[in-house]
A and B are shown apart, each in its own frame.
Chain A
């Protein structure tokens, strides 16, 4: 007789406790995400507050200099642009072609397994080892020198896995009845790919390409080993010329003890950050656009 109400009370108390725990975890979760976002925000705000006064037209149109207030990022952003151009010429065709092969042609056999495992591993190895490979192979074996071509190819190989993986994911979302319809009308495999698979997956592929290029723009470490210089007071005239890029220029300014150079670093960082955040925003927008356009 007397145990019944007590057990009932215990149960209620326990339910209350569980509810409180749940609410507490809600709070912890929000706190965690809040912490991450506040870090991102303080990074951006700190950089903007320090660097903004240096963002003028002359900053974009001056070469590096020993005098911090005269130094600019002209050679750096031009160099970044040239390097990324070479990178996209290497990585985009190679990446998309590999993605198509693995999704549309590859049979399920040991070789395909090897290629897939290999791409997973490529995505996991540190970027600086690509730089060491490029130094030993491109610079010394192929005698390409410390040039824009070397840098572009190095970064091209580095971002290749990103493009391959996103291409595959984009192609995989296309239902097989699209292919079957095309084959049943007499189209060949390549015609099916060119006229149907590629157009429908272009949103996903473009997203991957943009993200890969944004990664290439911000990448620093492998270019240090292949000899990006930090003091380039001229613009490159061919792909075999020495170069500098924005992140390297920023690294150089951060590493100096004088505070005036740190202001320059913040300004360069702000430009770099704006570029990468803009590219990532573009990628999200493209994904959104194509998700609306094609619904299976």
Chain B
């Protein structure tokens, strides 16, 4: 009898309580994990619902084809292309810096250097992504622009070029670390086979390893692109506030994100047309980045299937 009371039987209160506790915890954790879906839903719902009234007031034709973006002026114009061109301009400049440098860094870290050298460089490189973006903005405006102005005298003091360059340096680690991971995941026998055929390290890296790791590298690029599209503080500080339909990197320009910052700095009553426009730019931005993310994920998924 004493033994029986010490070991609980399935019917005992203690076990029932334990089972209840287990399933309660299970449910609690499920709710927490599911809450992240609510966040996405909340972001999309808020952006769409706050932006929609804008399209009731402004015809789509004006939105797409107006030549200026001046929603807060006397005779407002709503040509979103002005902001999109600024966003694309700074993004392209950033990618011209980040993609070559990030790829070379990844190949070097994965294929060329010893373990010790990698252990030294990798955390340092990742610090580049840890620096707050407002600090990069300061750097672009007050360090990079004056230097560039000595080389290109016609450079305006707010310009797309230095904002883009600094943004590019900032996203090097995003490009390099994901690329490096996928290059290191390429099986050793591919390297050995290539080297045994007499190929050099350089040939092996770019003709065997990079193609084999292409899915990871491509998704690293896509991540870099969506970072650059959504980057806010660097462009808000260093690229200026002048929305214009131009791809001249020497002039000031305004991106979708910088416009949101500019308008949010002032006082905006809820429901006013100015308030709507920041949601419209946010929605355009979200569409851009979400589609890039989905492209990146599908590239990765397709390649993973292929290389299994």
Q: Contact residues of A with B, CB < 8 Å?
A: 18-19, 21-22, 25-26, 28-30, 32-33, 35-37, 39-40, 42-43, 46-47, 93-94, 97-98, 100-102, 105-106, 114-115, 117-122, 124-133, 135-137, 140, 157, 160-161, 164, 188-190, 211, 214-215, 217-221, 224-225, 227, 247, 250-251, 254-255, 262, 265-266, 269, 272-273, 276-277, 280, 284
- Interchain CB contact under 8 A, B135 and A47: yes
Query: In the complex, A273 Cα to B172 Cα: how many Å?
Result: 19
- Select from chain A the residue with minimum beta-carbon distance to B18: A188
- B18: A residues at CB distance < 8 A: 188
Query: In the complex, A219 Cα to B132 Cα: how many Å?
Result: 7
B34 sits at the interface (CB 8 A): yes
Extra contacts besides A33-B105, A273-B135 (19): CB < 8 Å:
A25-B112, A29-B112, A32-B104, A33-B108, A33-B121, A37-B124, A40-B131, A97-B32, A100-B29, A115-B34, A117-B297, A118-B36, A118-B37, A126-B231, A132-B278, A132-B282, A220-B132, A221-B133, A265-B138
B150 sits at the interface (CB 8 A): no
Assuming A32-B108, A273-B135, is B143 touching A136 (CB within 8 A)? no
Q: Contact residues of B with A, CB < 8 Å?
A: 18, 21-22, 25-26, 28-30, 32-37, 39-40, 42-43, 46-47, 49-50, 101, 104-105, 107-109, 112-113, 121, 123-128, 130-139, 141-143, 169, 172, 200-203, 205, 223, 226, 229-233, 236-237, 257, 260-261, 264-265, 270, 278-279, 282, 285-286, 289-290, 292-294, 297
> What are 17 inter-chain pairs, A to B, with CB distance below 8 A?
A25-B107, A25-B205, A28-B104, A29-B107, A29-B109, A29-B112, A40-B131, A105-B29, A115-B33, A125-B290, A129-B230, A129-B286, A136-B50, A188-B18, A190-B22, A190-B25, A280-B127
- B297: A residues at CB distance < 8 A: 117, 120
- B42: A residues at CB distance < 8 A: 133, 137
- Interchain CB contact under 8 A, B131 and A43: yes
- Interchain CB contact under 8 A, A101 and B32: yes
Contact partner of B108 among A29, A101, A224, A250, CB < 8 A? A29
Choose among A36, A97, A100, A157 the residue with the greatest number of B CB atoms under 10 Å from its CB: A36
Choose among B42, B121, B135, B226 the residue with the greatest number of A CB atoms under 10 Å from its CB: B135
Nearest-neighbour CB distance to chain B for A87, whole angstroms, equals: 14
- A43: B residues at CB distance < 8 A: 131, 135-136, 139, 143
Q: 6 nearest interchain CB pairs?
A: A126-B230, A218-B132, A29-B108, A97-B32, A18-B200, A221-B232
- Interchain CB contact under 8 A, A220 and B133: yes
- B35: A residues at CB distance < 8 A: 94, 98
- A42: B residues at CB distance < 8 A: 143
